[in-house]
Amino acid sequence: MNLLEMVKDAGIIGAGGAGFPTHAKLATKAEYIILNGAECEPLLRVDQQLMAQFPDEIIKGFEAAGKLVCAESALIGIKGKHKNVISLLRERIEALQLSDFVHVKELADVYPAGDEQILVYELTGRVVPEAGIPIQVGCVVINSETALNIYHASQGKPVTEKYITIAGDIPNRLTVKVPVGTPVMAVLKLSGIDEFDNYSVIDGGPMMGPVMNQLNGYITKKSKGFVILKKQHSLIRKKSIKPDQAKRINRATCEQCRMCTDLCPRYLIGHDMQPHKMMRTIGYSLTDTEEQKMSYLCCQCNLCELFSCPVGLYPKAANMMIKQNLMEQSIRYQPEKKEYAARVNREYRQLPSKRLIARLGLYDFDKPAPMTETDLKPEIVSIAICQHVGAPAIPIVSPGERVLVGQMIGKIPEGSLGAAIHGSITGTVMECENGFITIRRD
């Protein structure tokens, strides 16, 4: 079996949160392979610790992926502030005799350094076309946990576990490895909080993660972290606004100062995303769908809503509303430009992470979340058949059947984009219903 087949068999998907099946991403040719180790979401601490703990495995997995796509160069993007990790990576690249191919590139501590298109620009100077993907400029980007999983796949080990940071206004900040399918509540309780009535939980980083309506879900291969905050925290209140409330507030108060546009990371790399125009569309009920198409260019980084707008409005929500409306009419964005260049003042409009953290009211919680061994061994896991971009996996086990950890329990439907799933504990299948395969530990 070649490495691409091993990656496919191991059920690897983008561990950074996007969930795109990795075998499909690697079935191409690229000039650069890029490792996304930026981890720009405040408070999350997975990638930086994985690179410190498993440098050889990550470098080898990354190199193998680079060879697979016939890359000329493999670039690791990591924030310059992680000095120890950078020295370690450089030392191990040297020791593994890969310094002709793998290079560590330092990134500024800004948000959103880990946005795929921003990362490509920072490391190669190339601008991914509007509504495009990195391969259009000869780049393939994978996350550091994905590279670790590629290494494991090369050793015959599928994805059955996930690394997760638990952060926020809690007694125990930590990063843990748990079986895929573990009940979210069991993971949240590692925070030292047992009763969540007065808390809200953000699924993922504080910038892009949504506030969870229910805490009774299960860990997926895409889970990256949970930020637990008191219900009355300003970030929770801001993120919990309903779309119709956001629309009403947007209509009433936008002063068209265009700060949201001037700081928009996608606008700054030369795309036409101009959220103040989408606010104008909402405010004056404008009907020019030609202009509205730019709403497709938003990467939902949330910078405009959570930092840029001086009066606390919701430009991203305006984008999403307009985009939804266009999608319902089957109106798509067709890029016209062939050449892109970053705006001249981009370098002066970068947002330092520290400033962002202070603005979000997270300064007191910006603390280490060390990798910790726990005795969390869930009795039952519920593994979603669709944790990825593409078609749901087809269960290949039945209730009553005994499965081993690492055994494939769901396969990719014939001819579809998708990812296989595997048992994350050894036990007996209880049910295959409602989009989950549930296993009880032996």
Binding site residues, ligand SF4, CB under 6 A: 254-260, 264-266, 273, 275-276, 279, 298-304, 308-309, 311, 313, 315-316, 319
Shortest spacing between CB 323 and ligand SF4, in angstroms? 10
CB of 310 to ligand SF4, least distance (A): 6
- Please identify, using beta-carbon distances, which residue of 255 and 347 lies nearer to ligand SF4: 255
- Give, in order, the Cα–Cα distances in Å from 414 to each of 385, 394, 396, 406: 15, 10, 13, 21
Please compute, for residue 343, the number of CA atoms within 13 A of its CA located in the half-sphere on the CB side. Answer: 19
What is the rounded end-to-end Cα distance, in angstroms, of the chain?
31
* Nearest to ligand SF4 of 229, 298 (CB atom): 298
Distance of closest approach, residue 430 Cβ to ligand SF4, in angstroms: 41
What region does 127 belong to: left with phi over 0, alpha with psi -120 to 50, or beta?
beta
Distance, in Å, from the CA atom of 12 to the CA atom of 280, rounded to the nearest integer, reads 42
- The residues with which 227 forms a beta bridge, in sequence order, are 167, 202
Closer residue to ligand SF4 in complex, CB, 12/120? 120
Residue closer to ligand SF4, measured from CB, 246 or 383:
246
- Rg of the chain in Å (alpha carbons): 22
- Nearest distance, CB of residue 111 and ligand SF4, angstroms: 10
Q: Which of 390, 117, 430, 384 is nearest to 268 (CA)?
A: 117
Shortest spacing between CB 291 and ligand SF4, in angstroms: 14
Helix (H, G, I), strand (E, B) or coil at 266: helix
Q: What single DSSP character describes residue 136?
A: G
Of 236 and 304, nearer to ligand SF4 (C-beta) is 304
Q: Which CB sits closer to ligand SF4, 106 or 262?
A: 262
Helices 144-154 and 46-53, packing angle to 10 deg? 40
Q: Report the nearest approach of ligand SF4 to the CB of residue 417 (Å).
A: 26
